């Protein structure tokens, strides 16, 4: 039977503080090894600019070379969707049923433990080792203990002291804002030299824009496979329609690619970006139809995570689920490409394609809104007023004899 420590995190980047903590805990508790479990797609950072997981994984591998008993665990890197500790513990227990697992947790994370997904399964599958962070007050330590007890966790307090007061955030800020060159990071005791060279070679943390290749790779890891294929289809269709109707093709492709980047966001994740479902409600005092939240949420994710600043692209992403009374041609293209991309199968989608080809965008938007309203009424759900306004506006434009259907 092996005693295995688990040190989970985003590791963006991994630093000397992580390594020192793992080694001290390993020695203090007699652990056979400590797994650095990379949170490939942390749900609480879904709207944050996070370095691609494969790059963070490589930095961990470089950092741990020569450190006995410390190694990368890439389970969450290989598992699609958001990364949850309960799923990882379950997989580890299935693979190593005779081993004991000890989850190394800092006070800041411990305070939030009762709110973690499937926390009961997590606390049943492993014990916890509570580590005080440099500068922790007695109050935060007490709150961490209370949270562990509330979550039903079996835990031990680490006596480890003199842990390095280093944070990944401070390293990123040092490179991006303070202009510290990578070669200075090891001298300041922040990261191993191999990690420093990797950061410099890959131009990390300098605020460089996301390339389409990077966005596609990230979406592939975050979205469900069918949704990812759909997003690629919308990007391709949006670019085709943009060329046909005289809209910037690059903007259309980017908006199409990211139009569903806010899909499947939980209420808990909305809280992490400072919002609730009711912030998106179309009817005062009502509850918004959850099927359309991912439009405006997607615009937030596109801006915060992928660095999109173009207001036209963000508008098209935000409006693609409901439409609006006033829509630019780019808005209309993304709204329609969601229906007409090649992977959409069925009578509804064929009809939207037919109306678009014969009568133009406004007629196609009016038709799709009509069908959406019928479906919502059949389900007995709330109709978003923006869809009604989009329908009426499209109908008005469709019926104007002097309005060209571009």
CATH number at residue 27: 3.40.50.620
196 and 238 share a domain? Answer: no
- Residue 317 placed within a domain: yes
292 and 188 share a domain? Answer: no
pLDDT surpassing 60 at residue 271: yes
158 and 267 share a domain? Answer: no
At which residue do the structure tokens 């009016």 appear? 366
- Where helices occur in 79-183 by DSSP H, the ranges are 85-95, 107-111, 119-125, 138-150, 168-176
Q: Which of 162-171, 330-339, 356-365 has the lowest mean pLDDT?
A: 162-171
168 and 266 share a domain? Answer: no
Concatenating the DSSP letter of every residue in 360-403 gives: -HHHHHHHHHHHHHHHHHHHTPPPPHHHHHHHHHHHHHHH-TTS
Cα radius of gyration rounded to whole Å, the chain:
25
- Residue 406 placed within a domain: no
DSSP 211: P
- Residue 387 placed within a domain: yes
- In this predicted structure, what is the pLDDT of residue 82? 84
Domain end residue (candidates: 201, 222, 250): 201
Long-range contacts of 353-359 (CB under 8 A, 24+ apart): 359/398, 359/405
The model's confidence at residue 286, banded by pLDDT at 50, 70 and 90, is: very low
369 and 247 share a domain? Answer: yes
pLDDT surpassing 50 at residue 38: yes
Q: How confident is the model over 303-357, as pLDDT tens digits?
A: 999 999 999 999 999 999 999 999 999 999 999 999 999 999 999 999 999 999 9
310 and 371 share a domain? Answer: yes
- In this predicted structure, what is the pLDDT of residue 325? 95
- In this predicted structure, what is the pLDDT of residue 133? 80
Taking CA atoms, 88 is separated from 19, 54, 129, in Å, by 21, 18, 17
The secondary element (H helix, E strand) that includes residue 244 is helix 225-245
- In this predicted structure, what is the pLDDT of residue 283? 40
125 and 245 share a domain? Answer: no
169 and 60 share a domain? Answer: yes
Long-range contacts of 266-274 (CB under 8 A, 24+ apart): 266/43, 268/43, 268/115, 269/43, 269/44, 269/46, 269/47, 270/297, 272/44, 272/46, 272/47, 273/47, 273/297, 273/300, 273/304
301 and 368 share a domain? Answer: yes
pLDDT surpassing 80 at residue 378: yes
196 and 154 share a domain? Answer: yes
181 and 239 share a domain? Answer: no
- Residue 206 placed within a domain: no
CATH number at residue 348: 1.10.3210.10
Domain end residue (candidates: 152, 181, 201): 201
- In this predicted structure, what is the pLDDT of residue 239? 98
pLDDT surpassing 50 at residue 267: yes
Burial 307-336 (b: 16+ CB within 10 A, else e): ebebeebbbbbbbbbbbbeebebbbbbbbb
Q: What are phi and psi of 124, to 5 degrees?
A: -75, -25
Q: Dig out the tokens for 123 from the structure.
A: 């606390």
174 or 326: which leads in pLDDT: 326
291 and 345 share a domain? Answer: yes
DSSP 100: E
- In this predicted structure, what is the pLDDT of residue 49? 87
The model's confidence at residue 180, banded by pLDDT at 50, 70 and 90, is: low
Q: How confident is the model over 218-229, as a mean pLDDT?
A: 91
- Residue 405 placed within a domain: no
The model's confidence at residue 15, banded by pLDDT at 50, 70 and 90, is: very high
286 or 27: which leads in pLDDT: 27
Taking CA atoms, 190 is separated from 14, 164, 165, 184, in Å, by 9, 9, 9, 9
Q: How confident is the model over 51-98, as pLDDT tens digits?
A: 989 999 999 999 999 999 999 999 998 887 888 999 999 999 999 999
The model's confidence at residue 400, banded by pLDDT at 50, 70 and 90, is: confident
- In this predicted structure, what is the pLDDT of residue 277? 60
- Mean pLDDT over each residue of the chain, to the nearest integer: 90
C-beta of residue 204 within 8 angstroms of C-beta of residue 212: no
Instruction: Quote the pTM value.
Output: 0.80
The model's confidence at residue 374, banded by pLDDT at 50, 70 and 90, is: very high
**Cα–Cα dist 114/108, whole Å:** 12
Q: How confident is the model over 175-202, as a mean pLDDT?
A: 77
pLDDT surpassing 80 at residue 10: yes
- Residue 207 placed within a domain: no
How many domains are contained in the chain? 2
**Cα–Cα dist 357/380, whole Å:** 32
First-residue to last-residue Cα distance in the chain:
70
Q: Which of 182-196, 198-212, 254-268 has the lowest mean pLDDT?
A: 182-196
The edge-to-edge listing of strands for the beta sheet with 100-106 is 70-73, 33-38, 3-9, 100-106, 127-131, 155-157
- In this predicted structure, what is the pLDDT of residue 288? 57
- In this predicted structure, what is the pLDDT of residue 97? 95
In degrees, to the nearest 5, what angle opens at C-alpha 276 toward C-alphas 271 and 277?
140
DSSP 103: E
The model's confidence at residue 280, banded by pLDDT at 50, 70 and 90, is: low
Among 18, 4, 131, smallest CA distance to 67 is for 18
Q: Which domain holds residue 93?
A: 3-201
pLDDT surpassing 60 at residue 130: yes
Domain end residue (candidates: 175, 201, 227): 201
């Amino acid at each position: 039977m092996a005693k295995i420590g688990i040190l989970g995190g985003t590791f963006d980047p991994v630093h000397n503080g992580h390594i020192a903590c793992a080694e001290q805990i390993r020695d203090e508790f007699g652990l056979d090894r400590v797994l650095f479990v990379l949170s490939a797609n942390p749900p609480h950072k879904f709207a944050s600019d996070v370095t691609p997981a494969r790059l963070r994984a490589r930095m961990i591998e470089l950092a741990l070379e020569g450190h006995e008993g410390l190694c990368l665990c890439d389970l969450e890197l290989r598992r699609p969707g958001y990364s949850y500790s309960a799923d990882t513990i379950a997989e580890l227990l299935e693979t190593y049923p005779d081993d004991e697992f000890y989850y190394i947790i800092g006070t800041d994370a411990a305070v939030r433990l009762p709110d973690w997904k499937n926390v009961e399964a997590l606390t049943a599958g492993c014990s916890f080792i509570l580590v005080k962070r440099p500068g922790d007050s007695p109050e935060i330590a007490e709150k961490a203990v209370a949270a562990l007890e509330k979550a039903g966790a079996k835990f031990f307090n680490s006596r480890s002291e003199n842990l390095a007061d280093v944070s990944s955030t401070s390293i990123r800020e040092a490179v991006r804002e303070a202009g510290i060159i990578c070669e200075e990071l090891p001298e300041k005791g922040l990261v191993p030299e191999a990690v420093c060279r990797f950061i410099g070679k890959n131009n990390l943390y300098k605020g460089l824009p996301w390339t389409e290749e990077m966005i596609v790779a990230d979406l592939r890891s975050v979205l469900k496979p069918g949704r990812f294929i759909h997003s690629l289809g919308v990007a391709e269709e949006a670019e085709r329609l943009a060329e046909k109707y005289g809209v910037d093709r690059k903007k259309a492709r980017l908006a199409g690619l990211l139009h569903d980047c806010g899909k499947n966001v939980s209420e808990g994740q909305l809280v992490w970006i400072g919002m609730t479902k009711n912030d998106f409600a179309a009817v005062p005092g009502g509850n918004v139809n959850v099927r359309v939240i991912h439009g405006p949420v997607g615009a937030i994710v596109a801006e915060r995570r992928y660095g999109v600043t173009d207001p036209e692209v963000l508008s098209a992403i935000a409006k693609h689920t409901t439409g609006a009374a006033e829509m630019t041609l780019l808005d209309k293209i993304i709204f329609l490409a969601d229906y007409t991309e090649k992977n959409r199968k069925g009578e509804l989608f064929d009809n939207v394609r037919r109306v678009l080809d014969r009568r133009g965008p406004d007629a196609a938007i009016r038709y799709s809104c009509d069908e959406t309203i019928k479906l919502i009424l059949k389900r007995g759900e709330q109709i978003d007023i923006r869809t009604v306004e989009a329908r009426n506006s499209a109908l008005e434009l469709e019926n104007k004899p002097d309005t060209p259907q571009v």
